[in-house]
């Protein structure tokens, strides 16, 4: 049984931890509002860009001389999974869920006879993927050197991915990233980004539209920007998901610390009362012996 001094030390230690988790919860809550607003503001732009790209892609569909990003390499044997994890921990099971989704996609592709490699964004989640696929890490990008990853980081990632695609290092690239729903729910989703899939939900436009320059020239500029926009949106969703998961995890940790403090306090009071009772019994027994 722990002594009174040990119990008091444990109570003080848990109280100190509770102060830290409470502070981190408040910081995450403050950052969440800004990150959520940024993620939600980027969604309409990405959706509208997809509609414009779909309108242009419909005009060049079936052409053998179309952009490489649209028609692909003609093969789907080599797949690249772009896994977007966070750079910091203490955000619950967010990173583990992303890694599970990436491994699930990798196993499904391998079962179909495909070759799978990984492009890792963020520090967390690298170890479990590297442990299971030690020779499957093609490249990566560290976003921990910036306070809040933005469009510049997304452009750098997209530029490297496009260079790898043009060099023939993979045929199809899939983006595995969290999608922010609310502070309690962040779901990992997998979407194909290279070659760019033509949207199927485009609205037909009866008006005659003339493009200057031609559709192919516009697509040559638009398709890389579309890939960058997808990555930029994934980074924004990741930031919002990280803050939401961190706020929820720290709230749970704070409540668990409070429950532990209550249990330790009850145990401390009982031990103290037992010690006092034992001393009283010894005093009374000694007085009666005299």
Strand 115-121 and strand 137-141: the pairing is parallel
Closest CA to 77 of 35, 129, 26, 114: 114
DSSP code, position 182: S
What is d(CA 89, CA 87) in angstroms, rounded to the nearest whole number? 7
What is d(CA 29, CA 248) in angstroms, rounded to the nearest whole number? 9
193 is catalytic: no
Taken as a whole, the chain contains a residue count of 290
Helix axes 151-166, 215-289, angle to 10 degrees: 120
What is d(CA 290, CA 273) in angstroms, rounded to the nearest whole number? 26
DSSP code, position 64: T
DSSP 100-132: HHHHHHHHHHHHTT-EEEEEEESSTTHHHHHHH
Q: Which residue of the set 42, 50, 69, 91 is catalytic?
A: 91
Per DSSP, the three-state class of 82 is strand
Is the distance from CB of 76 to CB of 114 less than 8 angstroms?
yes
Q: What is the dihedral of CA 271, 273, 279, 284, to 10 degrees?
A: -150
DSSP H or E run through 225: helix 215-289
What is d(CA 137, CA 106) in angstroms, rounded to the nearest whole number? 12
Kindly list the catalytic residues: 91
């Amino acid at each position: 049984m722990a002594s009174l001094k040990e119990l008091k030390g444990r109570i003080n230690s848990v109280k100190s931890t509770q102060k830290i988790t409470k502070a981190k919860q408040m910081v995450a809550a403050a950052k969440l509002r800004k990150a959520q607003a940024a993620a939600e503001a980027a969604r309409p732009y990405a959706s509208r860009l997809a509609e414009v790209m779909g309108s242009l892609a419909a005009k060049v569909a079936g052409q053998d001389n179309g952009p490489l990003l649209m028609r692909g390499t003609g093969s789907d044997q080599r797949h690249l999974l772009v896994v977007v994890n966070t750079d910091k921990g203490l955000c619950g099971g967010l990173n583990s869920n992303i890694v599970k989704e990436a491994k699930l996609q990798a196993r499904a592709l391998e079962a179909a006879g495909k070759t799978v490699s990984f492009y890792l964004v963020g520090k967390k989640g690298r170890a479990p993927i590297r442990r299971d696929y030690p020779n499957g890490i093609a490249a990566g990008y560290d976003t921990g050197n910036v306070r809040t990853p933005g469009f510049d980081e997304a452009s750098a990632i997209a530029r490297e991915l496009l260079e790898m695609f043009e060099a023939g290092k993979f045929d199809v690239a899939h983006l595995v990233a969290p999608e922010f729903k609310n502070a309690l729910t962040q779901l990992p989703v997998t979407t194909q980004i290279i070659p760019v899939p033509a949207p199927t939900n485009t609205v037909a436009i009866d008006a005659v539209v003339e493009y200057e320059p031609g559709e192919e020239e516009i697509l040559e500029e638009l398709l890389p920007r579309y890939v960058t926009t997808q990555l930029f949106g994934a980074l924004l969703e990741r930031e919002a998901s990280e803050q939401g998961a961190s706020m929820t995890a720290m709230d749970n940790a704070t409540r668990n610390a409070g429950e532990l403090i209550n249990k330790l306090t009850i145990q401390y009071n009982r031990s103290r009362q037992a010690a006092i009772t034992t001393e009283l019994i010894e005093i009374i027994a000694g007085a009666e012996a005299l």
